[in-house]
Structure 1
Amino acid sequence: MLGQGFVSAAAIAASVLFVLSLGGLSNQEKAKRAVWYGIVGMAVAVLFTAFGPGIGNYWLMIPMIAIGSVIGWKVATRVAMTEMPQLVAALHSFVGLAAVFVAWNADLERRRVLAAQALGAGYQEFSAFAALVATKASDELTFLQLEVVFAIFIGAVTFTGSVVAFGKLAGKVDGKPHKLPGGHMLNAGAAAFSLLLAILYLNGAGFWTLLILAALAFFIGWHLIMGIGGADMPVVVSMLNSYSGWAAAAIGFTLSNDLLIVTGALVGSSGAILSYIMCKAMNRNFVSVILGGFGGGTQGPAAEIEGEQVAIDAAGVASSLNNADSVVIVPGYGMAVAQAQNAVSELVRKLRSAGKEVRFAIHPVAGRLPGHMNVLLAEARVPYDIVLEMDEINDDFPKTDVTIVIGSNDIVNPAAQDDPNSPIAGMPVLEVWKSSVVFVCKRGQGTGYSGIENPLFYKENTRMFYGDARESIDSLLSLID
């Protein structure tokens, strides 16, 4: 058993490592080291918390940690990068559900202590948490109840919201937005009823209030995310990440665990900041994101698209690349699905060896997870200095000879600028159509995951390079001079 001093020192060390981890993840060159900071910080946090004062039941805790570690290792080694977004959503759901269970247990312990005190009995046979509750004054117990309410509500919303997000990202749930009749009024009514239950609970009502509160929050989380279209899932995942952080912080206050408070606050605040940045990148209202109020509606019918999609073969694409001086590659989720990043990296190497300027254009919400494309390119050892953000490269498209779009739709859709009735109207996009020639690597003529038509595919300077992205890029490699 370790003393409180050791635990406090470990909490400070782990907190510093978590901050360093978050800071390093903003830079591709430091990202791997930053991940190790996070791993070591979490190991320190778990170890010193598990063997801290007032902790027991090791016969149960140690096997659970071992089982969870093995499962985590197995999942991490089997999940491909294409499945990483839904894995993150699934992990968010675990945090939310854990917050609900811990909050329920905290209130049951509170009730046991109060009952024992009313009878003049001791509470020493209860848990360490019960002993902590017994020392609290009445106003501190009120704050404990507030923490319980907050943890249950945010945790339950996070759980069902993350489950739906997982389903949409994995293709197990329709990616289109769906709402029950009544739409936002149902969510508002459930939230108002939740507030009423919280007031009743704070005024002495029974444990049943927390059960119904959780049920209502489960509904809100499910209905909020069901009402958001698949094209907006990157922002949703980021926002759910923030929710899970605040749920963890609330539980930290409940358990008087400083490290959990710090960790939850870091996750919650960083997730909220990232969501805000992504909302700006998509021209979305931040408050509307939180309330699940975007992703589905339009002001009228979208503009009709004229023309036809013109296909091209590998020889035609290779001919244009051989004659080009400047090339921009725009990766999207289609590249991840086909696992084409290594083939793309080899194509870049050959083009640069031929003296051509090659760069990547990365939209802030490319893929289904913030930073998804950056991770894939880093995995394929693409040089960091040729990977540029949208704002850095958008003005260069008119001077670009060839742009290759690999599995992207919304982030290169001119309807965002030209059609006020488009579901993505006003969203900043990569203006690839201003290049001399645009080649779009795409499996077929469908609208893809988001279900939004793209006029880019019908423009005179666009040619459709149909097929699996990895096979298509591989077919070019032998044709590049």
Structure 2
Amino acid sequence: MNAQLLIEVSALAASFLFIYGLKRMSSPVTARSGIVVAGYGMLVAVLASFLYTFGVAEAAKPHLTTNAIIAVVALLIGVGWAWRSGKTVEMTAMPQMVALYNGMGGGSAAAIAAMVLLAVPAEGASHGSLHYLVTVFGGLIGAVSLSGSLIAWAKLDGRINKTLRMTGIQAINGSIMLATIGIGLYIVFGAGGHAPAGVTVAFFALALIFGVMMTMPIGGADMPVVISLYNAFTGLAVGLEGYVLNNPALMIAGMVVGSAGTLLTLLMAKAMNRSVSNVIFSNFGAAGDEQQGEIKGSQKPAEAGDAAVNMRYASKVIIAPGYGLAVAQAQHKLYEFVKLLQDAGVEVKFAIHPVAGRMPGHMNVLLAEAGVPYDIIYDMEDINGEFKEADVAIVIGANDTVNPAARTNKSSPIYGMPILNVDHAKQVYVVKRGQGKGYSGVENELFFADNTNLVYGDAQKVMVSMIQAIKSLDGGGH
């Protein structure tokens, strides 16, 4: 089997592994094995790339060998960094890592485009306008994904705490994008794909600036959608640059990631009752000073032990987790508490909102890490009708996703957003550190409801108190 045929077979195998792996990721039960399968696909694709050193002209082999050595060194550095960071990253920092990986993928696609546009064409070699148009488009999307993902990472990680707000910012961003597109069209049609280096550098610099300017005005409430959007951007960019390199594995992987990311972005925006353009170009979740009118009622505190006893004698309890659960790293203690309730004959279920946490699936992964069985974890649309049957609903670290104002208060900025119907339960307990607002910046009407009590404190410490209360009640038999 010659090298070219082996490369093509490897690309086909890698593409199959990517698609099969993504399919398995659609279920929490098989997601882990799906990631492993896709990882093998990436390994096959990377190893196959070294086969390009065979079958080239002898004069080009020394240059290609040097590039191969550089590639091996880069791979070792990348694998070492990824292995270490993957082993040590906390669950609370997982969204930041995803944002970084999105950015690295987009940056790689932009680097490929830059290499093609800055390379000196070989004698007699030529490409059509379509080739360079795809190169420029992929480079533009990849560069925007890189800088935008880095800003998203910095916001999620608390390194950037301010949201950029200024008059005419959308007009400024539009001007930057138009200038970038104009330079890109000049590179393709005016310079035949080989513009002066300064022009090409200006094109990528403006694309990177646009990514920063587009992401800076977006508030924390919308970061899950932004991460998903940049994931789609990265996939599209990789697919386009795969076409440029005539690499079917990159094309298929890019298209699969791009389409999956786009679908997920649309689904998440729908779960917030907003369009993607509204997420990118609105002020939602940024200022924290929205007006929603006066809220009736008062916040009623409760002791953790009293709440635990009430749940111990309930028939059905539904738990609505949020990002605060991840911050407190309370998932293991929560599951210990759940098992005590189950031992006492209480039916316990988890309700997951599509945008709970700071990235898609964040809560599912968090609960899986603690060993919570998949069959008691339900998506919002599957469990919302059961809250009215629940004796107790307990909210841990969630806020905007359980705010009844989204259903009832037309003056609220989150009006129309689908929420978990926790307020329909007979009794609601909310575990939270203090009286702070959610990412949207609006007060939560649930906290003032007649059937709601607030258990103040760190979620992990609260769960420890609840566990102790149940054990004391049952005579320490568990």
User: Are the equivalent residues in 1 in contact too, given 2:431–2:456 (CA < 8 A)?
Assistant: yes
In 2, the alpha carbon distance for the partners of 1:349 and 1:284 equals 38
Deviation, 1:296, is 5.0
Q: Which residue of structure 2 aligns with residue 60 of structure 1?
A: 70
Q: Does 1:15 align with 2:15?
A: yes
2:100 partner letter? A
Change (3 A) 1:335 1:428: same
Q: Paired residue for 1:168, among 155, 161, 167?
A: 155
Query: Could you list the per-position Cα deviations for residues 97-150 of structure 1 after superposition, in whole angstroms to 9, with x for gaps in the alignment?
Result: 2222221111122xx22xx64xxxxxxxxxxxxxxxx544xxx43122212211
User: Are the equivalent residues in 2 in contact too, given 1:178–1:226 (CA < 8 A)?
Assistant: yes
In 2, the alpha carbon distance for the partners of 1:153 and 1:209 equals 14
Q: Which residue of structure 1 aligns with residue 321 of structure 2?
A: 331
User: Are the equivalent residues in 2 in contact too, given 1:149–1:210 (CA < 8 A)?
Assistant: no
Q: Paired residue for 1:97, among 83, 107, 111?
A: 107
Superposition TM-score, scaled by structure 2 size: 0.91
Q: Which residue of structure 1 aligns with residue 368 of structure 2?
A: 378
2:104 partner letter? F
2:168 partner letter? G
Q: Which residue of structure 1 aligns with residue 132 of structure 2?
A: 145
Q: Which residue of structure 2 aligns with residue 405 of structure 1?
A: 395
Q: Which residue of structure 1 aligns with residue 186 of structure 2?
A: 200
User: Are the equivalent residues in 2 in contact too, given 1:326–1:402 (CA < 8 A)?
Assistant: yes
Q: More displaced, 44-53 or 201-210?
A: 201-210
Q: Which residue of structure 2 aligns with residue 340 of structure 1?
A: 330
Query: Could you list the per-position Cα deviations for residues 411-465 of structure 1 after superposition, in whole angstroms to 9, with x for gaps in the alignment?
Result: 0011112222322221100011111111111111111444332111111211111
- Identical amino acids, percent of aligned pairs: 41
In 2, the alpha carbon distance for the partners of 1:428 and 1:268 equals 26
Deviation, 1:152, is 2.2
Q: Which residue of structure 1 aligns with residue 172 of structure 2?
A: 186
Q: Which residue of structure 1 aligns with residue 284 of structure 2?
A: 295
Q: Which residue of structure 2 aligns with residue 158 of structure 1?
A: 145
In 2, the alpha carbon distance for the partners of 1:243 and 1:84 equals 20
In 1, the alpha carbon distance for the partners of 2:97 and 2:2 equals 35
Deviation, 1:382, is 1.2
In 2, the alpha carbon distance for the partners of 1:221 and 1:151 equals 14
Secondary structure of 2:29's aligned partner: helix
Q: Which residue of structure 1 aligns with residue 465 of structure 2?
A: 475
Query: Could you list the per-position Cα deviations for residues 181-226 of structure 1 after superposition, in whole angstroms to 9, with x for gaps in the alignment?
Result: 2122122222222222122222125333322222222222112211
Q: Which residue of structure 1 aligns with residue 251 of structure 2?
A: 261
Secondary structure of 1:274's aligned partner: helix
Q: Which residue of structure 2 aligns with residue 281 of structure 1?
A: 271
In 2, the alpha carbon distance for the partners of 1:319 and 1:244 equals 49
Paired residues in the alignment total 456
Q: Paired residue for 1:74, among 54, 79, 84?
A: 84
In 1, the alpha carbon distance for the partners of 2:355 and 2:416 equals 15
In 1, the alpha carbon distance for the partners of 2:65 and 2:247 equals 16
User: Are the equivalent residues in 2 in contact too, given 1:198–1:209 (CA < 8 A)?
Assistant: no
1:39 partner letter? G
Structure 2 gaps of 5+ residues are 57-63
Q: Which residue of structure 1 aligns with residue 25 of structure 2?
A: 25
**RMSD over equivalenced CA pairs, Å:** 2.0
Secondary structure of 2:128's aligned partner: helix
Query: Could you list the per-position Cα deviations for residues 69-107 of structure 1 after superposition, in whole angstroms to 9, with x for gaps in the alignment?
Result: 111111101101111100110111112222222211111
Change (3 A) 1:300 1:42: closer
User: Are the equivalent residues in 1 in contact too, given 2:399–2:444 (CA < 8 A)?
Assistant: yes
Q: Which residue of structure 2 aligns with residue 127 of structure 1?
A: none
1:462 partner letter? T
Q: Paired residue for 1:313, among 303, 328, 335?
A: 303
Secondary structure of 1:404's aligned partner: strand
Q: Does 1:425 align with 2:415?
A: yes
Change (3 A) 1:292 1:266: farther
Change (3 A) 1:209 1:248: same
Secondary structure of 1:302's aligned partner: coil
In 1, the alpha carbon distance for the partners of 2:223 and 2:431 equals 22
In 1, the alpha carbon distance for the partners of 2:409 and 2:266 equals 24
Q: Does 1:225 align with 2:225?
A: no
In 1, the alpha carbon distance for the partners of 2:159 and 2:321 equals 24
Superposition TM-score, scaled by structure 1 size: 0.90
In 2, the alpha carbon distance for the partners of 1:281 and 1:294 equals 18
User: Are the equivalent residues in 2 in contact too, given 1:297–1:423 (CA < 8 A)?
Assistant: no
Q: Which residue of structure 2 aligns with residue 125 of structure 1?
A: none
Change (3 A) 1:313 1:330: same
Secondary structure of 1:423's aligned partner: coil
Query: Could you list the per-position Cα deviations for residues 342-363 of structure 1 after superposition, in whole angstroms to 9, with x for gaps in the alignment?
Result: 1111111111111111100010
Secondary structure of 1:56's aligned partner: helix
Change (3 A) 1:452 1:2: farther
Q: Paired residue for 2:448, among 455, 458, 463?
A: 458
User: Are the equivalent residues in 2 in contact too, given 1:227–1:296 (CA < 8 A)?
Assistant: no
1:382 partner letter? V
User: Are the equivalent residues in 2 in contact too, given 1:228–1:293 (CA < 8 A)?
Assistant: yes
Structure 1 gaps of 5+ residues are 118-133
In 2, the alpha carbon distance for the partners of 1:171 and 1:96 equals 22
User: Are the equivalent residues in 1 in contact too, given 2:218–2:286 (CA < 8 A)?
Assistant: no
In 1, the alpha carbon distance for the partners of 2:362 and 2:286 equals 27
User: Are the equivalent residues in 1 in contact too, given 2:285–2:439 (CA < 8 A)?
Assistant: no
Q: Which residue of structure 1 aligns with residue 61 of structure 2?
A: none
Deviation, 1:406, is 0.5
Q: Paired residue for 1:88, among 89, 98, 117?
A: 98
In 2, the alpha carbon distance for the partners of 1:158 and 1:183 equals 19
